[in-house]
Amino acid sequence: MTIHESSDLLKKVERYEAAVKELEAAHEDVKGVLIEAILFDRWQQLGAQLGFSASDPAKQKKEQKEEEPNRDLQQLNQQISAMSESWAH
């Protein structure tokens, strides 16, 4: 084996090792997401059996973000109305 062939082989081995590490990390990420989803579903089932209701936290955050601008706008409108009334007197 020549020095050039040895260098190429070493580069390929390094790429292979990096790919394996990346695959392992992706596997752990997917595993974490699946376990979280399974645990949430099981928690929701147990809560339903006990008479509680639960909602998906991701959906709640999305709904909350959609409601926040409207709520802020409503508060601002109320403040403007109160200021207008105080200035009118």
Q: Domain of residue 30: give its range.
A: 1-53
Q: What is the pLDDT of residue 86?
A: 67
Domain count, the chain: 2
Kindly list the distances between the CA atom of residue 65 and the CA atoms of 3, 25, 55, 75, 78, in Å, as whole numbers in the listed order. 60, 31, 16, 16, 21
**Mean pLDDT, range 32-58, rounded to an integer:** 81
pLDDT over 70 at 46, yes or no: yes
In degrees rounded to 5, what are phi and psi of residue 52?
A: -100, 160
Residue 6 sits in the same domain as residue 36: yes
Residue 35 sits in the same domain as residue 69: no
Query: Could you identify the residue written with the tokens 């376990």?
Result: 35
Residue 49 sits in the same domain as residue 27: yes
Q: What is the pLDDT of residue 2?
A: 86
Q: What is the pLDDT of residues 63-80, one digit of tens each?
A: 666 666 667 777 777 777
Residue 49 sits in the same domain as residue 15: yes
8-state DSSP, 44: H
8-state DSSP, 24: H
pLDDT over 80 at 6, yes or no: yes
CA atoms within 13 A on the CB side of 70: 5
Residue 69 sits in the same domain as residue 40: no
